[in-house]
Chains A and B, each alone.
Chain A
Amino acid sequence: MKRQIPMLITFFVGALIIVSEFIPHKPFGNLSTSLGGWFLIISGFAIILGQLSLFKVNIIKISRKAPNWPYFIIALVSFSIMVTCGILWGTQKQPGLIPISDKMLNFFGYKPFDYIFKYMFENLSATMFSLLAFFMASASYRAFRARNAESTLLLVAAVLVMLGRTTIGSTLTCWIPESLGFLHLPNIASFIMKYPNTAGQRAIMICAGFGVIGSSLRIILGIERSYLGGK
């Protein structure tokens, strides 16, 4: 019962969606459209589950005094402050429980929720990902070796694209006459992207597409049950 009924639901829902593609009229079309709306609501609850789960995991780590446990308190405090600000005063467009006073708005310039987002979250998020620029440079230097034909091809393609897709590539070869335009770095980079790159990506896409089709069928038919988890 704990596994059979969910598998039946998966089969029924999946089959309904597929059948509605071929029979868009009542009742399949209407049921399929309703399912889309239900999916939105259930997914909303799934996100709430994710956030509450984060809360639960951090509390467990703090209570068990796991390594670096004081830092998890910071995560919980930040989460609580953000949620409190959002619920009390709302977001930029959305009112909260308490209407924000003109005094507070003039003080911050934004609602507290938006202030935290703009000056803290945006900077943290952007910086976290910009670290990758340094690690990418360091990793390329260390790992990129033309050891064999394949890695040489990769290296040459990478260098041509890196030069051709920037303004320096255009400047380096701007002197080339139009009759030899195919040697202009931006044109070389465009050729690589349009033809061999597209060929490779298309091959990956088609094969991955077959994989997704196979996985979807396995899930609908109940052969793949890992999403149910547990016993």
Chain B
Amino acid sequence: MEILMHRIGIWIGVFLTFAIFSFLYKDNPFYKIAEQIFIGISAGYWFIYTIYNILIPNLFVPVTTDFAHNFILLIPAFLGILMLCRLIPSIDWVSRYALAVVVGTTAGLFFKRYLQSDVLNQLTATMLNPFASSNAAQIIGELILIIGTITGIVYFFFSKKHEGAFGTTARVGIYFLMVSFGAAFGYTVMARISLLIGRLNFLLGDWLGIIKP
């Protein structure tokens, strides 16, 4: 019976796959149905896992099993309920208190972490001695890295008009950014094709059995 349900499951998967693929021809009811099923199941999945993996182990169990040590968790529970009040238009303003805690925590952490990781560490990583290596390709590469980073940063400085020497530097920065975008595009193509390979592997392997999955 399990094998039969497995085969039925495969056929359901195939039907839904072709329902989505039918969009390539044009928008149609099958695609719309599949899309709405996707939305519903996705939301339901996330709902269940939030309850089982977050609210129960991190809130309900500690509060119900050891209230004396965990009564302080009633505060985030209360704030969470305030958050849910956003659904009621007349009292949706109370959710701002919960939102303030979330936004404040995130802003405080982001301030420190982006400063260290994305600014200071990246600037430090750019301060190389490009002539330390004996490898010509590495020397050229590290010079490109330093020049590219500096000119790229100059490009993003919009408080001064891009003209003269400043404009030329910004122009060089644009060229480096274009190479970067081209490389990113190449990788994006790889990503999208990989997903199609996954689907065809399912259709040709699991469904038709032409290839070994």
- Please give the residue numbers on chain A whose beta carbons come within 8 Å of chain B beta carbons, in ascending order: 2-3, 5-7, 9-18, 21, 34-54, 56, 68, 71-72, 74-83, 86-87, 90-91, 94, 106-109, 113, 115-134, 136, 140, 149-151, 153-162, 165-166, 182, 189, 191-210, 212-213, 215-217, 219-220, 227-230
What are 10 A-B contacts with C-beta separation under 8 Å?
A9-B100, A17-B105, A42-B80, A50-B43, A50-B46, A121-B45, A131-B24, A202-B152, A216-B107, A220-B108
Query: Nearest-CB distance from A116 to chain B (Å)?
Result: 6
Q: Which residue of B lies closest to A128 (CB)?
A: B20
CB-based contact A42/B98 at 8 Å:
yes
Query: Nearest-CB distance from A26 to chain B (Å)?
Result: 16
CB-based contact A78/B41 at 8 Å:
yes
- Bound-state CA distance A220–B55 (Å) is 28
B187: A residues at CB distance < 8 A:
161, 165
B106: A residues at CB distance < 8 A:
39
Q: Indicate if B26 sits at the interface (CB-CB under 8 A).
A: no
- Bound-state CA distance A12–B97 (Å) is 12
Q: Indicate if B193 sits at the interface (CB-CB under 8 A).
A: yes
B109: A residues at CB distance < 8 A:
17
Given contacts A41-B77, A42-B98, A80-B44, 8 further A-B contacts (CB under 8 A): A13-B100, A46-B80, A48-B51, A162-B189, A195-B142, A197-B183, A199-B147, A220-B111
Max chain B Cβ within 10 angstroms of own Cβ: one of A13, A80, A182: A13
- Bound-state CA distance A40–B34 (Å) is 32
- Bound-state CA distance A44–B53 (Å) is 9
CB-based contact A120/B16 at 8 Å:
yes
Query: Nearest-CB distance from B93 to chain A (Å)?
Result: 5
Q: Indicate if B210 sits at the interface (CB-CB under 8 A).
A: no
- Bound-state CA distance A167–B195 (Å) is 17
Max chain A Cβ within 10 angstroms of own Cβ: one of B34, B144, B186, B193: B186
Cross-interface CB contact of B47 among A16, A41, A51, cutoff 8 Å: A51
Cross-interface CB contact of B79 among A21, A38, A196, A203, cutoff 8 Å: A38
Q: Indicate if B119 sits at the interface (CB-CB under 8 A).
A: yes
- Please give the residue numbers on chain B whose beta carbons come within 8 Å of chain A beta carbons, in ascending order: 1-2, 5-6, 9-10, 12-14, 16-17, 20-21, 23-24, 32-52, 54-55, 58-59, 72-73, 75-77, 79-81, 83-84, 86-87, 92-93, 96-112, 114-115, 117-119, 122-123, 125-126, 137, 141-142, 144-149, 151-153, 155-156, 173-190, 192-193, 195-196, 198-199, 202
CB-based contact B58/A91 at 8 Å:
no
CB-based contact A213/B1 at 8 Å:
no
- Bound-state CA distance A63–B44 (Å) is 22
B195: A residues at CB distance < 8 A:
126, 129-130, 132-133
Cross-interface CB contact of B182 among A83, A153, A220, cutoff 8 Å: A153
Q: Which residue of A lies closest to B38 (CB)?
A: A124
Q: Which residue of A lies closest to B123 (CB)?
A: A206
Q: Which residue of A lies closest to B73 (CB)?
A: A41
- Bound-state CA distance A156–B183 (Å) is 9
B198: A residues at CB distance < 8 A:
126, 130
A50: B residues at CB distance < 8 A:
43, 46
Question: Known contacts A106-B1, A209-B122; is A78 also within 8 Å of B44 by CB?
Answer: yes
CB-based contact A199/B152 at 8 Å:
yes
Query: Nearest-CB distance from B178 to chain A (Å)?
Result: 4
CB-based contact B122/A154 at 8 Å:
no
B178: A residues at CB distance < 8 A:
150-151, 153-154, 157, 200
CB-based contact B2/A109 at 8 Å:
yes
- Bound-state CA distance A227–B103 (Å) is 8
Max chain A Cβ within 10 angstroms of own Cβ: one of B119, B147, B202: B119
Cross-interface CB contact of A212 among B108, B110, B151, cutoff 8 Å: B110
